[in-house]
């Protein structure tokens, strides 16, 4: 079933809650001539990224896989894909102990067909949980058993089929305190280390990430992840990387410390990745806004390339046609490198320039 796109980001003082899956309004149409796409025989974004030892990916979701024009670009420009919703708890364990891998399998099979890898998303999150999980009170021992069973079942099912897992998603508030989720309130902060250990036991070869928004710049929230990552590494917990979602908005300014922030996590012996990139704007889109957006995409990509252990970039779907943003931020959109008609925008050319 269509559900909310998973990522919300706004000013640090006011982060909204997502609801609904939408296609963008006509107001997102690009007012200028689009940048030229890669011509036949020219390198794709994935080809260009590979020259730097990086991947370049896109999120996708099951409902849009019937759009053949869309899937043609998805299968050619990118070498990594992320399922936007099909591996979340509501989809994979809709009833307690009853698992449904249909949606996730569809995307894994598509990736295999296109010789792509999969960033699997996500095992532990406070949102998009099934009613059976949220409608009752659990003791710590009960919920711990439920969490372990879910992680073990899902990771085992996809063992050997995915590159990495976003194991725990959005664990902190903007001020660096733990988010008051069902997991934290019932199990305490140790649920994060437990989740990582259980995922590693189920698939020792998958890369294991913590993932969050508004941690691109240095600040209280990214500092909290830095402290946690340092503690987990010191305890021998199997943590491989930190995912910086990078849902950005022109009106809030560019995170100028992103490269330094990526670098400090790398010094802990961790991979980093830009995992859910989009750059939204207040509509209507203008030449000036699209030019600024293109610069942000270029700069984000360059920051990843400048840090050896930043392994790749994933945009949160590649086209405004399937963006989550208009449903969550009314009056905003035009966030992705392709427009609603699957035409590349200036941001697409900027990505190519950064990767060259």
| Catalytic machinery residues | 170, 276
Q: Closest by alpha carbon to 343, among 276, 277, 285?
A: 285
DSSP assignments along 266-284, one per residue: HTTT-EEEEEEEEEEEESS
Compute the chain's Rg from CA coordinates: 19
d(CA 150, CA 129): 12
What's the DSSP call for residue 94? S
Q: Positive or negative CA dihedral for 41, 44, 46, 51?
A: positive
d(CA 347, CA 350): 5
Q: Closest by alpha carbon to 151, among 185, 119, 191, 118?
A: 191
Backbone angles phi, psi at 243, to 5 degrees: -100, 120
d(CA 300, CA 313): 9
- The answer, yes or no, to whether the previous bond of 122 is cis (omega within 30 of 0) is yes
d(CA 344, CA 81): 19
């Amino acid at each position: 079933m269509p559900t909310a796109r998973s990522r919300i980001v706004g000013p640090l003082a006011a982060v909204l809650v997502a609801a609904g899956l939408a296609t963008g309004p006509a107001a997102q149409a690009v007012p200028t001539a689009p940048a030229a796409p890669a011509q036949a025989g020219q390198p794709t974004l994935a080809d260009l990224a590979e020259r730097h030892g990086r991947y370049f990916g896109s999120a996708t979701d099951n409902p849009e896989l019937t759009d053949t024009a869309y899937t043609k670009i998805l299968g050619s420009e990118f070498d990594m894909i992320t399922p936007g919703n099909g591996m979340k708890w509501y989809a994979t364990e809709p009833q307690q102990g009853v698992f449904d891998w249909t949606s996730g399998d569809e995307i894994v099979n598509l990736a295999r067909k296109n010789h792509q890898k999969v960033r699997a998303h996500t095992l532990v999150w406070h949102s998009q949980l099934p009613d059976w999980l949220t409608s009752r009170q659990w003791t710590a021992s009960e919920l711990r058993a439920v969490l372990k069973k879910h992680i073990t079942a899902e990771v085992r099912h996809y063992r050997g089929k995915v590159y990495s897992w976003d194991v725990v998603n959005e664990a902190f508030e903007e001020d660096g305190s733990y988010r008051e989720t069902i997991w934290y309130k019932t199990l305490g902060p140790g649920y994060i280390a437990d989740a990582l250990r259980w995922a590693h036991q189920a698939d020792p070869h998958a890369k294991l990430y913590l993932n969050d928004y508004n941690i691109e710049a240095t600040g209280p929230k990214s500092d909290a992840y830095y402290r946690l990552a340092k503690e987990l590494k010191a305890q021998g917990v199997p943590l491989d990387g930190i995912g910086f979602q990078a849902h950005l908005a022109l009106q809030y300014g560019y995170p100028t410390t992103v490269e330094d922030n990526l670098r400090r996590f790398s010094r802990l012996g961790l991979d980093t990745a830009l995992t859910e990139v989009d750059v939204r704007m207040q509509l209507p889109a203008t030449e000036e806004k699209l030019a600024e957006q293109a610069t942000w995409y270029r700069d984000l990509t360059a920051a990843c390339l400048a840090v050896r252990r930043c392994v790749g970039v994933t945009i949160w779907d590649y086209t405004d046609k399937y963006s989550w943003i208009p449903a969550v931020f009314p009056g905003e959109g035009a966030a992705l490198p392709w427009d609603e008609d699957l035409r590349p925008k200036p941001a697409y050319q900027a990505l190519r320039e950064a990767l060259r």
